[in-house]
């Protein structure tokens, strides 16, 4: 299977602070990949650098063999960042159409209306975003993320703030995109989700990889423990030392 | 032009023109100018036509002996009697001309208060009456010479010996100055906010993975230019229509004949206008890029606008054509350069090399400012809690 993401010897410093020391991993086409680590371990920094929002101190971060450019028509990437927001004063449909057009979606209006109908927001299409509840806004953000058949979805703590209904919706959509052959990188703290959904994963600590590979291989490496326990063990090392 | 830039510009234009607040701001300027003109016409109207008419009962006690004894206003022998007549409303207006009028140059008027009386011109009636009587004593020529009621055609020559028409030449550059000033007033704040909005709404991370910072910023600036043109069109199109409709009138013909279209001056103004707007946009968007919130950005608009309109504070100096250190400073100081340069083109007080240096400065600075904005926005766009640089905090 070909790699859709390749990260080679990635190092990132902000001033004197080293966030990522030497990170290398790949994400394969069509797989669901878990990107794990505690808060501040460098997961979001890695993703932002992969998407060109930060410049790496050194190393290579490639999507489909190239540095990511937002307007490159090569690979469509859907990104649901941890810090989420929308244009509050604009209507739901105008916001979605705008993002759709920027992502090169030709029938952005039709697609958006179809999506809004699916998630039960069709009657809110002409409402201002600020009039929507938090959960409804998250559905709109999710719609924007999966527009234009992405080949790579990057979801940074996707279930954060989602109620159980929206969480189910999100999982359904992840399944659908996966079935279409989309590779998915999931940054999450929920290890049960990783065990259930992910094919492979990487566990980051202090800017280096502490575990990397297929879920079963990682578990085997740590004596058959659950991912939850592995996470606790890795992050508990420091305290024990 | 890049497709993404155009998509951003389209979105930014459409979201503004759909808002009533945009049209309120756009229409406010011509409406305010119209109201201002109307008020000035109303205020100036009584000065041209005194409100005293034939039905106004006037009495004059002339102790100076300017008027003949048998004039119809000579109703009361003494000042006291005249004042009493006003109080009893036997007459509307009473004038007292004292014996030492020539020395003091002061007369007195008495009447019943009517409203605030700020704009009435009853005191003018005495001047009209005295002038009417006195003009019978002198020739028209003497009257004209004494009153100065004539015009002087002031014909000047340029150093090349050509007839100069400084005002006519200044009209078109002045239009550019006015258009730029309006743009700054109406769109300054919007320019600051347009870049900070993505950060404040936490949209920047999502949007920057769909469009590059460069195309996003350039698209936003392009949208503001189009919106600015709409504002200027709303202001000037009615004036052009008015000029066309009243083109047959003597006044309009005089004005139109006075306007001098100097190709070099016109081209200079167009270039200066475009890059002045780009430079101003660069400044404003840069502030938007370095500030974390709209509230932080808003406090910069005042100082920026003061810097831009600084040449207006030294208008007399700028219009005098005198070139000194202050004028040169205003001409090349980045914030004040746009209005100072266009103003000096209007009065013809800038040399060709000076103008070229000014244009180059605007072009270079506007490009640098916009590039800096793009870089800063790219760097700060996802630092939602980014603090202001220390030097700005101070």
ipTM of this complex:
0.87
Q: Which pLDDT belongs to residue A26?
A: 94
One domain, residues B116 and B187 = no
One domain, residues B210 and B71 = no
N-to-C CA span, chain A: 40
Minimum CA–CA partner of A148 in chain B? B210
* Token pair belonging to B196: 């900070």
One domain, residues B131 and B90 = yes
Chain A residue numbers with beta carbons less than 8 Å from the beta carbon of B386 are: none
pLDDT tens digits for range B337-349: 999 999 888 888 8
One domain, residues B354 and B270 = yes
B128, part of any domain:
yes
- What is the average pLDDT score of chain A? 88
pLDDT tens digits for range A100-124: 999 888 899 999 999 999 888 999 9
One domain, residues B319 and B269 = yes
Q: Is the pLDDT of residue A22 over 70?
A: yes
Identify whether the C-beta of residue A21 lies closer than 8 Å to the C-beta of residue A37.
no
Q: How many whole angstroms separate alpha carbon B193 and alpha carbon B186?
A: 13
One domain, residues B133 and B247 = no
Q: What three-state secondary structure class fits A133? A: coil
Identify whether the C-beta of residue A188 lies closer than 8 Å to the C-beta of residue A157.
yes
* List of residues 6+ apart from B274 with CB closer than 8 A: none
Which range is least confidently modeled, A34-48, A192-206, B160-174?
B160-174
**Is B11 close to A77, i.e. CB distance below 8 A?**
no
B153, part of any domain:
no
Chain B residue numbers with beta carbons less than 8 Å from the beta carbon of A128 are: none
Domain boundaries, chain A: 1-76+151-161+182-241
pLDDT tens digits for range B180-201: 988 888 888 888 888 888 888 8
**Is B206 close to A85, i.e. CB distance below 8 A?**
yes
Q: What three-state secondary structure class fits B198? A: helix
Nearest chain B CA: its distance from A240 CA (Å) = 34
How would you list the strands of the sheet with A32-37, edge to edge? A77-80, A152-156, A183-187, A32-37, A200-205, A208-214
Last residue of a domain, which of B95, B112, B147? Answer: B147
One domain, residues B190 and B238 = yes
Mean pLDDT across A22-44? 91
Considering the domain delimited by A1-76+151-161+182-241, tell me its CATH architecture.
3-Layer(aba) Sandwich (3.40)
Asked if A15 has any chain B CB less than 8 Å from its own CB, the reply is no
**Is A81 close to B208, i.e. CB distance below 8 A?**
no
Q: Which pLDDT belongs to residue B48?
A: 42
Q: Which pLDDT belongs to residue B303?
A: 86
* H or E segment to which residue A59 belongs: strand A58-63
One domain, residues B181 and B221 = yes
Q: Which pLDDT belongs to residue A125?
A: 94
Which range is least confidently modeled, A158-167, B75-84, B96-105?
A158-167
* H or E segment to which residue B108 belongs: strand B108-111
**Is A51 close to B8, i.e. CB distance below 8 A?**
no
One domain, residues B65 and B190 = no
Last residue of a domain, which of B118, B147, B176? Answer: B147
Minimum CA–CA partner of B202 in chain A? A85
B306, part of any domain:
yes
Cross-chain CB nearest to B203 (options A48, A87, A101) = A87
Burial B73-110 (b: 16+ CB within 10 A, else e): bebbeebeebbebbeeeebbbbbbbbeebeeeeebebb
pLDDT tens digits for range B5-20: 999 999 999 988 888 8
Q: Is the pLDDT of residue A221 over 70?
A: yes
Q: For residue B50, what pLDDT band results from cuts at 50, 70 and 90?
A: very low
B3, part of any domain:
no
* List of residues 6+ apart from A29 with CB closer than 8 A: A1, A2, A3, A4, A151, A181, A183
Q: Which pLDDT belongs to residue B365?
A: 94
Please report, rounded to a whole number, the percentage of residues in chain A having pLDDT higher than 70.
97
Q: Is the pLDDT of residue B113 over 80?
A: no
* List of residues 6+ apart from B160 with CB closer than 8 A: none
Q: Which pLDDT belongs to residue B44?
A: 62
Nearest chain A CA: its distance from B235 CA (Å) = 28
One domain, residues B140 and B198 = no
Cross-chain CB nearest to B384 (options A83, A88, A144) = A83
Range of the domain at B135: 58-147
Q: Is the pLDDT of residue B326 over 70?
A: yes
* Distance set, CA A205 to CA A5, A188, A236, B341 (Å): 20, 14, 11, 59
Q: Which pLDDT belongs to residue A62?
A: 93
* Token pair belonging to A200: 């492979």
Burial B280-294 (b: 16+ CB within 10 A, else e): bbbbbbbbbbbbbeb
**Is A81 close to B205, i.e. CB distance below 8 A?**
yes
B43, part of any domain:
no
Chain B residue numbers with beta carbons less than 8 Å from the beta carbon of A51 are: 208-209
One domain, residues B205 and B126 = no
Mean pLDDT across A147-163? 85
Mean pLDDT across A82-105? 89
Mean pLDDT across A70-78? 78
Q: Which pLDDT belongs to residue B385?
A: 53
Nearest alpha carbon to residue B384 among B188, B207, B197, B226: B197
Total of domains in chain B: 2
Q: Is the pLDDT of residue A159 over 50?
A: yes
- What is the average pLDDT score of chain B? 83
B28, part of any domain:
no
One domain, residues B337 and B245 = yes
Burial class (CB in 10 A: 0-12, 13-18, 19+), B150: exposed
B35, part of any domain:
no
């Amino acid at each position: 299977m070909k790699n859709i993401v390749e990260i080679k010897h990635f190092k990132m410093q902000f001033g004197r602070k080293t966030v990522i020391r030497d990170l290398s991993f790949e994400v394969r086409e069509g797989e669901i990949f878990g990107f794990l680590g505690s808060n501040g371990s460098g997961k979001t920094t890695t993703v932002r650098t992969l998407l060109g929002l930060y410049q790496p101190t050194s190393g290579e971060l490639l999507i489909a063999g190239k540095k990511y450019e937002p307007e490159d028509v090569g690979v469509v990437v859907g990104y649901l960042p941890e810090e989420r927001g929308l244009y509050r004063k604009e209507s739901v449909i105008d916001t979605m159409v705008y993002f759709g057009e920027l992502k090169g979606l030709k029938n952005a209006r039709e697609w958006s209306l179809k999506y809004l109908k699916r998630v039960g927001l069709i009657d809110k299409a002409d409402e201002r975003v600020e009039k929507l509840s938090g959960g409804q806004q998250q559905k709109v953000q999710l719609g924007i993320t999966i527009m234009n058949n992405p080949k790579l979805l990057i979801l940074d703590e996707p279930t954060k703030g989602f109620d159980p209904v929206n969480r189910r919706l999100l999982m359904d959509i992840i399944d659908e995109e996966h079935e279409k052959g989309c590779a998915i990188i999931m940054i999450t703290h929920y290890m049960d989700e990783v065990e259930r959904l992910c094919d492979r994963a990487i566990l980051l600590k202090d800017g280096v990889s502490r575990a990397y590979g297929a879920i079963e291989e990682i578990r085997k490496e740590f004596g058959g423990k659950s991912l939850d326990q592995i996470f606790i063990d890795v992050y508990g090392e420091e305290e024990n030392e | 032009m890049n497709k993404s830039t155009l998509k951003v510009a389209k979105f930014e234009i459409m979201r503004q023109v759909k808002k009533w607040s945009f049209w309120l701001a756009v229409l406010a300027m011509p409406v305010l100018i119209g109201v201002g003109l109307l008020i000035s016409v109303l205020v100036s109207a009584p000065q041209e036509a005194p409100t005293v008419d034939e039905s106004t009962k006037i009495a004059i006690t002339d102790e100076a002996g300017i008027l003949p004894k048998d004039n119809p206003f000579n109703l009361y022998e003494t000042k006291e009697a005249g004042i009493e007549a006003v109080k009893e409303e036997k007459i509307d207006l009473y004038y007292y001309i004292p014996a030492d009028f020539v020395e003091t140059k002061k007369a007195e008027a008495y009447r019943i208060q009517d409203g605030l009386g700020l704009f009435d011109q009853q005191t003018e009636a005495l001047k009209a009456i005295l002038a009417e009587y006195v003009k019978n004593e002198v020739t028209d020529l003497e009257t004209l010479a004494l009153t100065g009621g004539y015009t002087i055609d002031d014909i000047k020559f340029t150093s090349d010996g050509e007839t100069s028409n400084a005002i006519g030449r200044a009209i078109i550059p002045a239009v550019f100055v006015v258009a730029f000033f309006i743009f700054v007033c109406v769109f300054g704040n919007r320019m600051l906010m347009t870049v900070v909005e993505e950060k404040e709404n936490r949209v920047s991370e999502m949007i920057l993975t769909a469009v590059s910072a460069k195309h996003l910023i350039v698209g936003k600036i392009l949208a503001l230019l189009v919106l600015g043109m709409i504002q200027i069109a709303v202001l000037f199109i009615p004036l052009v229509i008015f000029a066309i409709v009243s083109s047959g009138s003597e006044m309009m013909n005089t004005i139109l004949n006075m306007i001098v279209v100097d190709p070099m001056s016109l081209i200079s103004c167009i270039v200066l206008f475009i890059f002045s707007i780009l430079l101003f946009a660069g400044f404003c968007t840069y502030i938007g890029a370095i500030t974390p919130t709209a509230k932080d950005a808003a406090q910069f608009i005042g100082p920026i606008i003061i810097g831009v309109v600084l040449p207006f504070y030294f208008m007399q100096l700028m219009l005098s054509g005198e070139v000194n250190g202050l004028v040169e400073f205003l001409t090349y100081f980045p914030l004040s350069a746009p209005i100072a340069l266009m103003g000096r083109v209007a009065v013809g007080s800038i040399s060709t090399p000076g103008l070229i240096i000014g244009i180059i400065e605007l072009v270079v600075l506007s490009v640098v400012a916009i590039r800096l904005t793009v870089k800063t926005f790219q760097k700060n766009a996802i630092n939602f809690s980014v603090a202001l640089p220390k030097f700005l905090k101070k």
